[in-house]
Amino acid sequence: MSVTENVMGGVIVMFIFLIAGAIVIHNLTGHTVDKMELTKNKYLEEAYSSDFNALLQATEPTTMRSFSDLLTDALYYRQDNLTFGNTTINTREFFTSTLDAAIGKGRYYMEIKPKIIEVSLNFVIDGSNSLQDEREQLAEELPSIIEGVKKKIYETGEEIVVANVYILGNKYDLKDRQKCDIYNTDRADITCYVIGAEELYAAPDDFNNETYDVNSKDQYKVEFNVTPPYSDVDYVRNIRKAGEKDYYEADWGAGVAYASAHNKGMARLVVLFPVSDELSTSSIPDACFHISDIPRQKMCDLCNTGCPAERSSASVEKALQVAKANGHIVNPIYSFTCDYDYKPMFNTYFEIVNSRSTSNVCSEAACGGCSVNNGVCFHPDCESVILEQMNHVADETFGKVINLEDIQNLVYDISTAIDDNIEEYKFRLGQEYDYAARFVSERSLPLPNKLMTDAKLFIYPNKNEVA
Amino acid sequence: MKLFSSTQSDRRGVYAVLTSFFFIIVALVATIGVLFYQNMLVTFERSIEKDANEYSVVTDAKNVLFSCYGKTIDENKLNESCNVSMIQGYTIEKLGINQCNESFHDFLNNSRYDQSFVYVVPIQEDKRICLGRLKIFL
């Protein structure tokens, strides 16, 4: 009995030894294999990093510009086709053929996006009463919009987000100046300005080379010929007296140009949001600005249904030129919510000037200002033209139009647009494989606007890479 | 008197011998097992060190080649070979892309080699920079 016990004891001891040995060996082997993998990966990482350096130096044959220069230009201007003098090159083709030949087809993915450490949000808001709700909603929600953008771009905690609000109006008019009071300008990151004709348009003296300061921030007005729509020999920038709706109160085109120029040359992402329910320079036809008699003027403002599309387009084109030159994004906010500030006294005007008018003239289809069927809207026939021009400026600057159907969605719509702007500010080449083994090399490259950008090259190794 | 009759105490002695013998066998097997495993591990480690050494050799060789031809390889210098004793040889191939002229420079001492390692390298051709492949043979 005791022999059996001893033999069994021995067997158990041996078994324990073997199991323990197997575990120790397994661990040691695993550790050694990991070490081997680590050594191999370290080598491949260095080798691919060296390959990336070589690729960035490769020269494009017609322009003699380097791969890295073209890469940052293509990202900055967000165009595949870049023109240098008389030569236009397809950068994507150049990058793809170079990478295919050097790394191998299907074995790489390249992504380049700006390193955003500072964002400037600029709201250019029509100063008319119909936009009062939007201005108030924005004032309330601006802090949370800023915090949302900060979270989106967070990397080191040193990111800066600032917001500037430009209200189009007459800064000499107390009522217009007070429109800034609702913004929490005690915060260092929120600033509000009332800008009017003086700020928006160049004066004739500005075009005099001898007296004009070419280094001024307002030099853009001369360069892009930003002048008021009615400037002539008797140069005027204000057509109507203070308190009366003037064209510059709705000139979001000139407002965007101003905001863009005042954010020029800064190494940051600048996003511009013109907010309006009218054509740029207003939906009021030209003829109405030359009527001095107030009742007739109001009648014309509200009931002349012609849309001044060309006047508006000229202003929008200026905005486009300045924003594009500065590499800024424009996301126009269209807020045509039929909440035009209808005043019963308008009917009095109609009765005075139009003998055919009755007290319910606003129900007539001919009246641009009011319509029972559509609610109280200002020149509803201009809606399609406004949207067309807003889409044009958004398309050209890589922004998007926000059609604000419900004012409660203002924060969501703005935040989504900014997210899209940041996300779309990328240039990608090759195919990204989510779960494949890969080696990533990263380089910081400068963009033309001094913003730094991260270029990442993902290389997917072959199974038996190295040999 | 009984010859060869075993008592209980005799039986205990036999068991003790058997048990001791058995334990010695167990100890021997365990020792041999451990030694075997250890030996296996040492061999494995050596093989890894050899691989690691290869990576380090090839990196050093690449640096020596860059010091000979420049970090951006000067095509005019490619007529002469660079003395890199730790490798079997190397080849430099200029790729015929982006309007660059294709070329191949062979500095392989013999055709017997175990492994080859490839790098993409910049090669200066006149005023522009072309891409090439540097292949190092061990």
**Residue B52 lies inside a defined structural domain of this protein:** yes
pLDDT bracket for residue A205 (50, 70, 90) = confident
Higher per-residue pLDDT: A24 or A286: A286
Higher per-residue pLDDT: A233 or A379: A379
> Are the CB atoms for A265 and A220 separated by under 8 Å?
no
Inter-chain contact A21–B116, Cβ cutoff 8 Å? Answer: no
| Domain chopping of chain A, boundaries | 2-114+428-459, 118-424
Angle between helices A2-57 and A91-102 (to 10 degrees): 140
Residue A50 in contact with partner chain B when CB distance is under 8 A = yes
pLDDT for A349 equals 66
pLDDT bracket for residue B37 (50, 70, 90) = confident
pLDDT for A314 equals 95
A253 pLDDT higher than 90: yes
Mean pLDDT of A214-235: 79
Type of residue at B125: E
**Whose CA is closest to A217, among A322, A113, A138, A123?**
A322
ipTM of the complex in this document: 0.76
**Whose CA is closest to B69, among B107, B100, B102, B95?**
B107
Higher per-residue pLDDT: B45 or A419: A419
Q: Which chain B positions have a beta carbon within 8 Å of A2's beta carbon?
A: 15
Q: Quick one: tokens of A280?
A: 């740029």
Per mean pLDDT, which range of A142-146, A180-184, A445-449, A462-466 is the poorest?
A: A462-466
Inter-chain contact B120–A98, Cβ cutoff 8 Å? Answer: no
Per mean pLDDT, which range of A44-58, A79-93, A231-245, A381-395 is the poorest?
A: A231-245
Among partner residues A7, A24, A60, which is closest to B98 by beta-carbon distance? Answer: A60
pLDDT for A55 equals 94
Q: What is the mean pLDDT of chain A?
A: 83
Q: How far is the alpha carbon of B94 from chain A, nearest alpha carbon, in Å?
A: 10
Question: Three-state DSSP class for A173?
Answer: coil
pLDDT bracket for residue A467 (50, 70, 90) = very low
Type of residue at A410: L
| pLDDT, tens digit (0-9, with 9 covering 90-100), for B50-69 | 777 888 899 999 999 999 99
Mean pLDDT of A255-263: 95
Residues pairing with A427 in the sheet: A112
Q: Which chain B positions have a beta carbon within 8 Å of A102's beta carbon?
A: 95, 97, 120, 131, 133
| Rounded distance between C-alpha atoms, residue A236 and residue A224, angstroms | 19
Give the domain extent around B74: 8-137
**Which residue of B lies nearest to A19 if distances are taken between CA atoms?**
B30
Mean pLDDT of A206-217: 70
B94 pLDDT higher than 60: yes
Please spell the DSSP secondary structure of B104-130, one letter per residue: EEEEES-S--S-EEEEEEEEEETTEEE
> Are the CB atoms for A349 and A299 separated by under 8 Å?
yes
pLDDT bracket for residue A166 (50, 70, 90) = very high
B4 pLDDT higher than 60: no
Per mean pLDDT, which range of A111-120, A345-354, B10-19 is the poorest?
A: A345-354
Residue A360 in contact with partner chain B when CB distance is under 8 A = no
- Cα distances from A272 to residues A163, A193, A220, A399, in angstroms, run 10, 15, 17, 9
Residue B131 in contact with partner chain A when CB distance is under 8 A = yes
Q: Which chain A positions have a beta carbon within 8 Å of B23's beta carbon?
A: 10, 13
Residues pairing with A453 in the sheet: A114, A445
pLDDT bracket for residue A246 (50, 70, 90) = confident
Residue A28 in contact with partner chain B when CB distance is under 8 A = yes
Phi, psi of A87 (to 5 degrees): -105, 130
**Whose CA is closest to A441, among A82, A27, A68, A136?**
A68
pLDDT for A203 equals 83
Mean pLDDT of B122-129: 91
| pLDDT, tens digit (0-9, with 9 covering 90-100), for A429-438 | 998 888 888 9
| pLDDT, tens digit (0-9, with 9 covering 90-100), for A212-222 | 666 677 889 98
Task: Give percent of chain A with pLDDT exceeding 90.
Answer: 37
Among partner residues A2, A35, A59, which is closest to B48 by beta-carbon distance? Answer: A35
Residue A464 in contact with partner chain B when CB distance is under 8 A = no
Residue A64 in contact with partner chain B when CB distance is under 8 A = yes
Q: Which chain A positions have a beta carbon within 8 Å of B10's beta carbon?
A: none
Phi, psi of A310 (to 5 degrees): -70, -40
Among partner residues B41, B97, B129, which is closest to A97 by beta-carbon distance? Answer: B97
Q: Which chain B positions have a beta carbon within 8 Å of A103's beta carbon?
A: 120
Mean pLDDT of A143-169: 89
Task: Give percent of chain B with pLDDT exceeding 70.
Answer: 94
Task: Give percent of chain A with pLDDT exceeding 70.
Answer: 85
pLDDT for A250 equals 92
A457 pLDDT higher than 90: yes
**Whose CA is closest to A197, among A134, A135, A240, A234?**
A240
**Helix intervals (H) in A250-308:** 252-261, 294-303
pLDDT for A426 equals 79
Count of CA atoms in the C-beta half-sphere (13 A) of A285: 15
Higher per-residue pLDDT: A247 or A10: A247
pLDDT for A346 equals 65
Count of CA atoms in the C-beta half-sphere (13 A) of B133: 18
Inter-chain contact A64–B128, Cβ cutoff 8 Å? Answer: yes
pLDDT for A232 equals 61
**Residue B117 lies inside a defined structural domain of this protein:** yes
Please spell the DSSP secondary structure of chain B, one letter per residue: --TT---HHHHHHHHHHHHHHHHHHHHHHHHHHHHHHHHHHHHHHHHHHHHHHHHHHHHHHHHHHHHHHTTTEEGGGGGS----TTSSEEEEEE---TTPPPEEEEEES-S--S-EEEEEEEEEETTEEEEEEEEEE-
Higher per-residue pLDDT: A6 or B137: B137
Inter-chain contact A97–B48, Cβ cutoff 8 Å? Answer: no
> Are the CB atoms for A334 and A386 separated by under 8 Å?
yes
Under 8 Å CB-to-CB from A40, ≥6 apart: which residues? A466, B51, B55
CATH numeric code, A118-424: 3.40.50
Among partner residues B48, B121, B127, which is closest to A54 by beta-carbon distance? Answer: B121
Residue A98 in contact with partner chain B when CB distance is under 8 A = yes
The count of domains in chain B is 1
pLDDT for A306 equals 85
pLDDT bracket for residue A20 (50, 70, 90) = confident
pLDDT for B90 equals 93
